[in-house]
């Protein structure tokens, strides 16, 4: 419903079912059937205006058929806003999310709360140059032992030079401070050059390449070739291919130092007015200094738009993690079907 001028309130929700053959991402797999319900609200304002944004709130309920002790009720909320008058761009985001899920580095459905706040700006200095800056703070609070709470602060600075009508060259620097309860605090410095924009009529994206250094508070420095990139290629008016490549330092939730190389691609196609399909393949190599673990994730899915308020989605995900430590290895298959609502 409309709220004043340029603001609308929506009721949102999702009703889904998942078949997961390895709910803990463990070497010894345990399967279960999970039912998900996620009612929510979305407030959007500033449509077709210089200042626009949205507030989204959601309460997610997950119910396990065989492991009822894993049932959860988790809240998430996010606010974002953007201002753009052609010469000045401003952005702000704030979010709080309660999680109880696995990841490559987190096993056993670990509860944690994630708080994130950040802002960015880009100013036009002349017809050929722009300056961009930002700041992001992230806090993670784990509810289990042997996982470290963390605080990270990222500050990127970039100067853009208009090379062509649709392409900018860039020179940048990113400062990152990472504090943990387990392991060592660290400070990263990423000096880079890159470009952004439309590189051809069908290829657009951005990339930054340069020297990335990490200084550990408890002694020791390291250096790697830093890469941060993302591209989109239009195969046809209804089909696109997105791909990315990154190479960066990291710190695991257990406080271990990492070097993460990631390569991924995804294909999406609108095959009709109602039907769309997608697929993706992602690879990650994590160097711990004494070993390198490999992770592969394959996804495939389809969506059917019933009307402007209802969308049915189905998907399949395959995960494979290999390591010199056999207890860390796992394989995982997940089939899911859900109905998303927006009124």
pLDDT in tens, 236-288: 999 999 999 999 999 999 999 999 999 999 999 999 999 999 999 999 999 99
Instruction: Name which of 29, 32, 30 is nearest 335 in CA terms.
Output: 32
Domain presence at residue 257: yes
pLDDT in tens, 108-121: 899 999 999 999 99
Cβ atoms 235, 211 nearer than 8 A: no
Range of 99's domain? 7-342
First and final CA of the chain: distance in angstroms? 9
**In this structure, are strands 88-101 and 51-64 parallel, antiparallel, or unpaired?**
unpaired
Which residues lie below 8 Å from residue 42, measured CB to CB, with a gap of 6+?
9, 10, 12, 54, 55, 56, 57, 342
Domain presence at residue 2: no
pLDDT in tens, 141-195: 999 989 999 999 999 999 999 999 999 999 999 999 999 999 999 999 999 999 9
Neighbour tally for 286: CB within 10 Å = 21
Domain presence at residue 12: yes
Reduce the secondary structure of 272-338 to three states and give it as a string: CCCEEEEEEEEEEEEECCCCEEEEEEEEEEEEEECCCCEEEEEEEEEEEEECCCHHHCEEEEEEEEE
Domain presence at residue 1: no
Mean pLDDT of the chain: 96
The yes-or-no verdict on residue 129 having pLDDT over 80 is yes
User: Which is it for the CA torsion 124, 126, 127, 128, positive or negative?
Assistant: negative
CATH code at position 288: 2.40.170
Cα dihedral value 316, 321, 327, 331, nearest 10: 20
Domain presence at residue 164: yes
**pTM check: above 0.85:** yes
pLDDT classification of 131: cutoffs 50, 70, 90: very high
Q: Which whole-number Å values give the CA distances from 339 to 13, 17, 287, in the listed order?
A: 8, 9, 39
pLDDT at 6: 81
Count of domains observed in the chain? 1
Cβ atoms 244, 266 nearer than 8 A: no
227-264: b (≥16 Cβ within 10 Å) or e? bbbebebeeeeeebbbbbbbbbbbbbbebbbebbbbeb
Domain presence at residue 131: yes
Percentage of the chain surpassing pLDDT 70? 99
């Amino acid at each position: 419903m409309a709220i004043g001028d340029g603001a609308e309130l929506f009721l949102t929700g999702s009703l889904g079912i998942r078949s997961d053959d390895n709910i803990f991402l463990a070497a010894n797999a345990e399967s279960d059937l999970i039912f998900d319900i996620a009612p929510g609200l979305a407030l959007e304002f500033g449509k077709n205006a210089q200042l626009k944004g949205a507030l989204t709130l959601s309460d997610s309920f997950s119910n396990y058929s065989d492991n009822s002790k894993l049932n959860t009720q988790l809240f998430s909320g996010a606010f974002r806003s953007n201002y753009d008058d052609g010469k000045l761009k401003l952005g702000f985001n704030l979010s709080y999310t309660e999680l109880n899920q696995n990841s490559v580095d987190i096993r056993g459905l670990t509860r944690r709360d994630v708080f994130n706040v950040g802002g960015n700006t880009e100013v036009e200095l002349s017809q050929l140059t722009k300056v961009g800056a930002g700041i992001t703070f992230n806090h993670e609070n784990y509810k289990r032992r042997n996982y470290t709470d963390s605080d990270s602060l990222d500050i990127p600075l970039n100067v853009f030079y208009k090379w062509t009508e649709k392409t900018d060259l860039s020179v940048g620097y990113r400062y990152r401070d990472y504090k943990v309860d387990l392991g060592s605090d660290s400070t990263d410095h990423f000096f880079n050059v890159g470009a952004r924009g439309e590189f051809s009529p069908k290829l657009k994206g951005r990339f930054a390449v340069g020297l990335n250094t990490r200084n550990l508070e408890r002694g020791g420095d390291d250096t790697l070739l830093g890469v941060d990139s993302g591209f989109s290629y239009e195969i046809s008016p209804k089909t696109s291919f997105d791909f990315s490549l990154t190479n960066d330092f990291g710190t695991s939730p257990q406080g271990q130092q990492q070097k993460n190389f990631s390569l991924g691609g995804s294909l999406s196609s609108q095959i009709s007015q109602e039907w769309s399909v997608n697929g993706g393949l992602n690879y990650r190599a994590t160097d711990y200094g004494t070993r390198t673990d490999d992770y592969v994730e394959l996804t495939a899915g389809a969506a059917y738009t019933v009307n402007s308020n209802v969308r049915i989605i189905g998907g399949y995900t395959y995960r494979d993690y290999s390591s010199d430590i056999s207890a860390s290895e796992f394989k995982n298959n997940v089939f899911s079907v859900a109905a998303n609502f927006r009124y």
